[in-house]
Amino acid sequence: MSFKLPTLPYSLSALKPHISEETLSFHYGKHHAGYINKLNALVKGTKFESLTLEELLKTTSGAIFNNAAQSWNHNFYWNSMSPNGGGEPFGAVKQKINEKFGTFESFKKEYSSLLVGHFGSGWGWLVQRQDGTVDIVQTHDAGNPIADGTGKPILACDIWEHAYYLDYKNDRASYVNAWWNTINWEFANKQLQ
């Protein structure tokens, strides 16, 4: 099996003014594509060649894991955003957030704090735990909640510098504030079990 760069669910300019076309073009077309290309080279001719990305997340380590996880994480991140996103959550995800955090504003404050305060590169996730509750977790580098068993991903925010540096330089807080305007709550609702 050869992994392919998935098609973005929107145009490269669709997330403006929150994420520029230049950033999305480099992030998707260079970084994400690079992980796919490296992964294909690493698994070619090995026992891992026939596995899915999720299977690779659960069974590998090192370079294969890093490239598989970054490929999976980025695909989930693209879908966690929408040109028609932002605003407050609705439906089941709103109910789960309110049950855990009390209010959307409390959730937003806690999630933002985790994203901005994360040291180094990584990801911030809204996950659903095995007991059905939701929670916020962070993973470092290519880490992933599926791989580490912390929960089923509901939303993802990429906090590697390549996700925001062209637009926001070293101002991660401004990127996080802008990211809230892109959240795809419809996608989040579909992830809930």
Q: Which residues are annotated as a binding site?
A: 27, 74, 158, 162
- DSSP secondary structure code for residue 180 in this structure: G
Tokens found for residue 152: 């089923």
Q: How far apart are the C-alpha atoms of 151 and 24, rounded to whole Å?
A: 28
Annotated binding site for Mn(2+): 27, 74, 158, 162
Query: If you write DSSP's letter for every residue of 69-117 in order, what string do you get?
Result: HHHHHHHHHHHTB-TT--S---HHHHHHHHHHHSSHHHHHHHHHHHHHH
Tell me: cis bond preceding 89? Omega within 30 of 0 counts.
no
Q: What angle do CA 132, 134, 138 make, to 5 degrees?
A: 135
Residues in the chain, overall count: 193
Contacts of 39 by beta carbon, 8 Å cutoff, 6+ apart = 3, 56, 64, 67, 68, 71
